[in-house]
Structure 1
Amino acid sequence: LDVNDNAPKFEKTLASFRVTENALNGTAIFRANATDADEGDNAKVTYSLVTDTKDFHVDKTSGVLTVSNTLDRERQDLYELRIRATDGGGKGPDNPPLYSEAVVRISIDDINDNAPKFSLPNYSVKIREDLPNGTVVAMVTAADPDLGPEGEVVYSLEDTDSDGTFKIDRLSGTIRTTKSLDFEERQVHSLIVYASDRGNPSMSSEATVTVNVVDVNENMYAPQFSDFVLAGKVKENQPVGSFVMQVNATDQDPPGGDNNVEYSIRGGDGIGIFSIDNQGNIKTLAVLDIETKSHYWITVFAQDHGVVPLFSSVEVYIEVL
């Protein structure tokens, strides 16, 4: 009668293999082979996978290790699997079967199964229209987890609607201007950026870049009065709000905020005595008395509505009659 005094013995206790991450389910990697020197049931060997994984399976009878799930190197690139060979001997808890183990190390080889991925699907930037050529307006980034050339990213730009106004650095993803921008000509540029890897075949993805051009004041001319000093008259004892005179400043800028003029009184001994509206009409804020004061000086400013406003001033002499 045979005594179960021999554990199964593996032909190799350590083995290493490589498999590509696109290996199909059922792909055979390795056939474990263990023998037992005992006889009968004590020599019958069954195999099992000790390591907890759904990605590989070992056939309990043949010892063939196969792929049993979709592999992904980016998820896991190395497996160390413990395969156990157990004999059929042993009866009861006090006399368990004997076993031994072997280690199979499996490295997962990369394939180009990932397209570069942008950090944002859409980019939006605002830039001033007066930026010089070559100014950086945006930087896009995309990452590819593949290895080697399959993970190297290069960028390209589809600029069909902007007539080559922008260019992109192939390696850094930096977008620059190549021409002068003009808000009056175009306010928005829509670009499509592609990120491609160097795999064969290459994989790519895209992102949109919206460039909003911001108007910059092109205010060339300040409002101008017809003279350096203007004069007006008003009778005494007139009610508050009585009309005194009208001043006028003209602005040579094109129609718009840059040539829209507003007036204010900012100096002279007539401050608080007179008001001015945006049509340049000067009116009284008090009842005047020639015996108290026979004339006033006020400094009138004319200012346009440019982003950077321009202005000029005139001295106004007002005589009380």
Structure 2
Amino acid sequence: MRKIKLLLASAVLIISCDKTAKEIKNTEIMRDDIAVKEKTIETTENFNIEDIPFSNADLGDFPFFTLPKTLVAGKSPMQKKLDVCFFPINAVMTPFEGQLYKANIGAERGEEFSQRYFEKSMADYLTSIGAVKIFDGEITKEEYERYNKQDPNKGGTGDIGYWDEPIKFYVIRSQEKGNIYVQYSSNNAGAKLNILQEETFVQTMTKVSADDIAKDLSEKGKSVLYINFETDKAHLSTEGQDVVKQISEALKNNTSLKIAIEGHTDNTGDATRNKKLSEDRANAVLTNLIKQGIEESRLSAKGFGTEKPLVANDSESNKAKNRRVELIKID
């Protein structure tokens, strides 16, 4: 097949008064039948996402693209609605926050993994959807030691960012999907892939109200509350006292209402100690309610420790869900 030769072009985007510059350059990725232009941004000062032109490609939904044929993501790739991932800007691992996908990549059963096939597939596709290469290289050992303890997912699935690891990092800027960061690394055994769609954190938590508690008790027969106590103690924090005030108000608004207060913990530490701690915390809520004028005959308290988890204790977020106080309506 006749090879098509494409002209190379370069354009200076910004030249500041101190003569530093950012450039996007076109380089060639050679396939069998065509040379594909790859845009690479070279930064001599702080990275600025606005230096990157918008992509007009139809990117689809997160995580935006499938793997090359014969390649598969390893068991349990990470996909989180909001998390932090570090990407190399001028060889400095820099955190970005948003929807995150991280995976280990290997070959299908019966196939051999090809580093060249993976890297050519990635570079070609990213270039075709308007991605701009930001970094292609390795970070120093000193840089790894500086940042690695800040990474909440260090050592996990698809973890990229070690000092002897070649990293390729691209950015896609989309008016519809926002800023998308893609990095990957590979060797002869397999590859790792990270995709982050940058998002600003939106607070979805609201203050627990007496009306919320009353509604849950009426409709569900129970109300699950996350009451703050001092660490590893049964002393209510200021925020915890505010929640208990709302429980008291709900009980005062419905004088026929009786509740059982149940304390629960995650599985961290000794089970016997957890059960006692959960019981002490349930009793702390009961005692506080009595002080606020609720009759003791309307209340009971019991601790269950780790016996009744809401979800599996297999992650920090799930453990947080299990550390709770439940109010159970007594008929």
TM-score band, normalised by shorter chain: under 0.3
Structure number having the greater strand percentage: 1
TM-score norm. by structure 2 comes to 0.20
TM-score norm. by structure 1 comes to 0.20
User: Which structure has the larger Rg?
Assistant: 1
